[in-house]
Amino acid sequence: MTRSQLIEQIQTKKSYLCVGLDTDITKIPKHLLTESDPVFTFNKEIIDATKDLCVAYKINTAFYEALGLKGWEAMEKTVHYIGDEHFKIADAKRGDIGNTSDQYAKAFFETMPFDSITVAPYMGEDSVKPFLQHTGKWAIVLGLTSNKGANDFELQQTGDGLLYEKVLQTVSKWGTPDNLMFVIGATQADEFINIRKLTPDHFYLVPGVGAQGGSLKEISEKAMNKNCGILVNASRAIIYASEGKDFAEKARKVALQYQQEMSTYL
């Protein structure tokens, strides 16, 4: 999906919601466990219930990899089921030497039809560049995350300011706003004004709203640019809104609340 197509989806749906399909087989409703593929069945119902309210889906690959072959099959079926009208994110946090990253890019951009993949920048330019070589595909690079461990490295002072600032300034030169986004955690709202000054035109994937306590209002006020420029992810708050047979209905209700609030900020 291109930048212009993503912006069009945001404007049409009046939403910048990304639904996180962090599907944990131990947390899905028990009645689904009799299905031949309970994870895909769960995902399918969540997608059907929310697809008109969101512009993106984020699949956290760890929850699928943990299940072995069946998990990979569920992930592949899910990403195909989502289709082309939504921005599809592989939350895989890959990042390795160039030839290995090249294989990761082929796995998620060619073997599976994801639009983007989250990438760790620690190993430098040659570990990120392979993800930027695919037309219409995106690298979403870790910038400033929501976890408490962000203090260990990301928020440490360097000779050129905070380390995450150095990451944003350096990585932004490797790609363009057409193929490069950054992960910025919702709980780091105080930093958003500074971050937007450093990367005025890039999109941000913003996890941490909902269960992790980030404020949608604060993020929207501080992080938006003229093209919206943010995808706000909510996972547990939506997909685990109910443990019963009404899980999809309840998921839609929560997603609708997010979409309605987002429409007031656009």
Task: Provide the annotated active-site residues.
Answer: 93
Distance between CA 198 and CA 225 in Å, rounded? 12
- Dist CA 161 CA 170 (whole Å): 13
- CA dist 167 → 18, 173, 194, 253 (Å): 24, 10, 14, 38
From CA 145, how far away is CA 188, in angstroms rounded? 8
CA atoms within 13 A on the CB side of 264: 7
Q: Report yes or no: 144 and 184 within 8 Å, Cβ to Cβ.
A: yes
Cα–Cα dist 70/147, whole Å: 30
From 113, 111, 165, 104, select the one nearest 132 (Cα to Cα).
Answer: 104
Give the side-chain half-sphere CA count within 13 A for 195. Answer: 33
End-to-end CA distance of the chain: give it in Å, rounded.
21
Q: How far is Cα of residue 103 from the mean position of the Cα atoms in its chain?
A: 21
Enter the DSSP assignment of 227. Answer: T
Helix (H) or strand (E) holding 118: strand 116-119
Question: How is residue 198 written in tokens?
Answer: 């450093």
